Each structure stands twice: as structure tokens, then as C-alpha cells.
Amino acid sequence: MIKFTLNGKTVETSEDPNTPLLWVVRETFNLTGSKFGCGAGLCGACTMHIDGMASRTCIMPVAAVAGKNITTIEGLGTPDEPHPLQAAWVEHSVPQCGYCQSGQIMSAAALLEQNPNPTEAEVESAMAGNLCRCGCYPRIKSAILATAGPALAYNAAKRTGSEAEA
């Protein structure tokens, strides 16, 4: 049994330990917001946070995340309570086909956690691992830069909230 925390809940799985985390999350835990794009860590569609770091989970064996804290797009925000980045994605009409956007947003959220006020070049560099075949890059960049402040405040509030609950 491999145990880890998924969007705040402790879960365990008896999957083959070599199975990439992406497939365990999608098939066993039925969270399908994280996508399969390349299976080689090249496109970023599968990006989740592992202990706060944006990580490519299509090449991450589930055994490697034992005891770790995993956040998926479903854990970041919901249609009723979107994360500020998700709200900005709507405001800027970022998505086209939308398939890569979960991964884009997870990379962006990790960036803003670590660097609340990134420059344009820092955004480009942090987001270079996430492919968008529809070419939404200018809007992704605008949405991230427009969100930097509010996202920070939101995350701080959320952390305080979860501490209060604990």
C-alpha cells in the first residue's frame, strides 16, 4: 500500500508502484482534471503539485510520492469557488480547446506561490514546460501577470483557513 495526501485527504493505493501518479489519480481516484499529453514529461498537461512543487506526474512513479502532499486542479479551486488564477483564466478567455489548461494553471499557481511578483521573463521561463497546441500563450501570460497579487492573498487566506480547521 502506498499512502499519500490527495487534495487534503489521506488516500492509499495498491497499484503497481511503477504506475505513474497521473494514472492513479485519474483512474483510481477518478480525478480527471489532470491530463495525459505525452507520457514523457515534455508537455506539462499532467502537472500537479507535489509538496507545492509543480511536477510532471506522467513520469512520476506513484511509489515516489509516498507520504507526500499532492494537489490537483480539483484541489486548487472549483467552478463555485475558483482560485484567482482560474477566475483570471475566464476573464482573459484564456482557454481554447482547454486540454492543457489544468497543467498550465497548476504551473502558474506554483510559480506565484514561490515568486509572488514574477517578471514577464520569469513567467515565460516558469511556464516553458507547459505546451499549448492552440497557442494561448499571450493570454496565459496576461492572466498570470494580472493575478499575481490577488492569488497571493488568496493562498495566504486559504492557508490560514486550513490551519484554523486543523
Partner 1 sequence: MNPLNLSRRQFLKNTGIVGGGLVIGFSLSGCSTPPWPIAEVEGGYSPNAFLQFTPDNAIRFFCPRDEMGQGVMTGLLTLIAEELDVDPQRFTLDFGSVHPDYNNPGMGVQATGGSNAMRAHYHQLRQVGADTRSLIVAAAAHDLGINKDQITTENGEILVDDERYPYSDFIATAAGMELPENSPLKAHSTFKYIGKDAPRVDALAKATGTAPFGIDARVDGMHHAVVRRSPVAGAMLVSVDKQTVLSMPGVTDVLEISSGVAVVAEKYWQAKTAAAALDPTWSEVALSEVSTETVKADYNAAMLKDEGISATSEGDAASAFTAASQVLEADYWTPFLAHAPLEPMNAVIRLGDNEAEIWTGNQSPVGVQGLVARFSGIEQDKIRVHNMYLGGGFGRRGTLTHIIEVTEIAKASGKPIKLTWSREDDIRHGLYRPASLIRMKAGLDEQGNIHAWQAKRAGGNISPDTLKNVFPALFPGLGDGTLNFLADLAEDVFASYLADPSSIEGLAEGYDLPNHDVQHFTVDHGLPLTFWRSVGHSNNAFPKEVMMDELAAAAGMDPVEFRLQNTKNNPRLHNVIRVAGERMQAMNPPEGHYLGFAAHGSFATDVAEIAEVSVENGKIRVHRVTCVVDCGLAVTPDVVRAQMEGGVMFALTAALSGRIDLRHGEVVQSNFHDYQILRMDEAPDIDVVIIRSEDDPTGVGEPSVPPLAPAVANAVFAATGQRLRSLPLELSYGRLMPNSASTSSVCSPCLGGRW
Which residues of this protein are in contact with partner 1, per CB under 8 A?
Answer: 15-16, 18-20, 23, 26-27, 30-40, 42-43, 45, 72-74, 77-79, 82, 85-86, 89-91, 93-102, 105, 123-125, 127-141
CB of 133 to partner 1, least distance (A): 5
CB of 6 to partner 1, least distance (A): 14
Residue 17: strand, helix, or coil: coil
Question: Is 42 or 157 the residue whose CB approaches partner 1 more closely?
Answer: 42
Residue 122 CA to its chain's centroid (Å): 18
Question: Half-sphere exposure (CA, 13 Å, Cβ side) for 109?
Answer: 33
CB of 90 to partner 1, least distance (A): 4
Question: Is 26 or 68 the residue whose CB approaches partner 1 more closely?
Answer: 26
Question: Is 35 or 68 the residue whose CB approaches partner 1 more closely?
Answer: 35
Q: Which residue has the cell 499532492?
A: 70
Question: Is 53 or 97 the residue whose CB approaches partner 1 more closely?
Answer: 97
CB of 166 to partner 1, least distance (A): 25
Q: In angstroms, rounded to a whole number, what is the distance separating the alpha carbons of residues 155 and 161?
A: 10
Residue 127 CA to its chain's centroid (Å): 12
Helix pair angle (137-165, 84-91), 10° resolution: 150
Question: Is 125 or 160 the residue whose CB approaches partner 1 more closely?
Answer: 125
The one-character DSSP state at 26 is I
Helix pair angle (120-127, 137-165), 10° resolution: 80
CB of 58 to partner 1, least distance (A): 10
